[in-house]
Amino acid sequence: MKTRSLVSVVRSLSPVTLVALVVTVAIILLAIAAPLVAPFDPVVLDAAGRFAPVGDPNHLLGADQYGRDTLSRLLYGARVELLTAASASVLSMAVGTVIGLVAGYYQRFVGAVLMRFIDVVLALPALILALFAVTLYGPGEATLIIVMGLVFTPAFARIAYGQTLTVAQAEYVESARLFGASDLAILFREILPNILAPLVVQFTLTVASAILLESGLSYLGLGIVPPAPSWGAMVADGQRYMATEPQLLLLPALAVVISILAVALLADGLRTALNPRSHRRSA
């Protein structure tokens, strides 16, 4: 197994992956810079600019039924999407990895119990679990982040579990134990660094899934609380006027698809790059 520098990894990425990486980084930067870049405050109404078309001098990408500037709403929407998605992904990665590590290392009882817990979480469809949480705790970012964190934990736990099972058998782990390393040291110094690659890939995928899930909830009106902008809600609004003003539907739809696609392709590319064996031949 090779330990490669970051530079060599980046250099080995396929063109598609590089494009995906660039787009992702661009979206992240735009999201961070939204307050500086956006021409308008996204919730400000502008009666004169209602249904402004694309290319209007005041509203570059048009405006919605309340005259709110589409471009600004898209940018601020990006902010919210990425923030919630990233937070949820970090949360689920941390929790899931720890669960998987512990379950994989201590197999006997602890392992079985933990993995059963994972099975329980898996048994509930993400959307439905999210709706359940919203019913109880109300909509809003905090609820969303926690629920999404929960929903995506099993994937990390399973990966960490599987990888830990394999790595824990390695002789260098036995060696560390023999020479007196504490369990904690073994988990974090010997095992964790050697199971990171698939977890990183999963993190990227999770960000994509989180954006997907969150925008779905917002579409239903049960995600980000309006009037704060969110792409899903924008699609829902746009659907109402699609006969006459299709851009209200298509622009946010495009934003959602492009972001998720970029992150998903990046995940694909990372998986190939970090995998010692890449499938280049046909069956």
| Distance between CA atoms of residues 148 and 129, nearest Å | 9
Residue 274 near residue 9 (C-beta atoms within 8 A): yes
What's the angle, vertex CA 54, arms to CA 49 and CA 60, rounded to 5?
A: 75
| Least gap, CB of 40 to other proteins (angstroms) | 25
| Distance between CA atoms of residues 241 and 107, nearest Å | 56
- What residues make contact with other proteins under the rule CB under 8 A? 1-3, 16, 116, 119-120, 122-129, 131-132, 134-137, 170-172, 174-181, 185, 190, 193-194, 208, 212, 215-216, 219-222, 232, 235-236, 238-239, 242-243, 246, 249-250, 253, 256-257, 260-261, 264-265, 268, 279-283
Asked if omega into 193 is within 30° of 0 (cis), the reply is no
| Least gap, CB of 189 to other proteins (angstroms) | 8
Q: Give 49 or 209: the residue with its C-beta nearer to other proteins.
A: 209
Q: Give 43 or 58: the residue with its C-beta nearer to other proteins.
A: 43
Tell me which amino acid residue 46 is. Answer: D
| Least gap, CB of 160 to other proteins (angstroms) | 17
| Distance between CA atoms of residues 161 and 97, nearest Å | 8
Q: Give 42 or 139: the residue with its C-beta nearer to other proteins.
A: 139
Single out the residue of 213, 195, 109 nearest to residue 158, CA to CA: 195
Q: Give 87 or 259: the residue with its C-beta nearer to other proteins.
A: 259
Q: Give 29 or 120: the residue with its C-beta nearer to other proteins.
A: 120
Helices (DSSP H) in the chain: which residue ranges?
6-11, 15-37, 70-105, 112-123, 126-137, 141-168, 171-178, 183-185, 192-219, 231-240, 247-274
| Least gap, CB of 248 to other proteins (angstroms) | 11
Residue 14 near residue 263 (C-beta atoms within 8 A): no
Q: Give 33 or 239: the residue with its C-beta nearer to other proteins.
A: 239
Q: Give 47 or 123: the residue with its C-beta nearer to other proteins.
A: 123
| Least gap, CB of 15 to other proteins (angstroms) | 10
Q: 267 is written with which tokens?
A: 């995940």
| Least gap, CB of 46 to other proteins (angstroms) | 25
Rounded to whole angstroms, what are the CA distances from 4 to 197, 240, 243, 266? 12, 51, 53, 18
| Least gap, CB of 218 to other proteins (angstroms) | 10
